[in-house]
Amino acid sequence: MSPVTPFGTRLRAAMDARGPLCVGIDPHAALLASWGLADDIAGLERFSRTVVEALADSVAVFKPQAAFFERFGSKGVAVLERTVADARAAGTLVVMDAKRGDIGSTMAAYASAFLDPSSPLFSDALTVSPYLGYGSLAPAVELARESGAGLFVLALTSNPEGAEVQRAVREDGRSIGATMLAHLAAENAGAEPMGSFGAVVGATLGDLSSFDLDINGPLLAPGIGAQGATAADLPAVFGAAVANVVPNVSRGVLKHGPDAAALRSSAKRFADEVREAVAG
């Protein structure tokens, strides 16, 4: 069997071809209502299908938020399975935003659910939480390498509560967030054109020059649009690592639905603004 192309290689190609933009698929109740949809399975399915059909041929990455599907139970998970399959079949990479984190066999089971190619929820990458210790992610790291998938590890998140953990300082003087970035840099050592093990780093955090963001891997950056950050802010926040930033926009694009043309226009505008900012 031929080796699987690593996620980092596939992501770099998608960003270069389609622009470095990730669009969230976040069907929360208020957004469904704003689209004129009921907060039920039919509304969930209509919403998800509309987003995929409108944008799958033009954006690099989709990021479905698993919780908004799981709240409907098994029927919601079935919609998530179809959403992932349809997006990937259309050529868009899928980052499953599930933020899983545990130890041992439980972490291995989470990894299998999202990173095993035989799973109906198999995604190109998965968000994970390292706050049981980075080593607890070993089953996910191993399976991602085997399957050609990727991980995005929570490192410096945009929510204000995150700082009490991520900026706490270890005995060696290094913060927890910086420690996570160092682990990821080690995972990505020698990878070309980019490693498959990324970090989640908020675009709203301002000057991050005290952190080494050059991990030779992607930086998933929430906060563009509704949370207040703009594409123009990216170079100041990410510095020399800006070329590997994948800004995530959810409400800023999704609020324009259910009109497919409006969704496409909004996504294109954000992608163009990011391209311009990254190009300097």
**Which active-site residues does the annotation give?**
99
User: Residues 13, 23: contact at Cβ < 8 Å?
Assistant: no
CA distance 181 to 200: 10
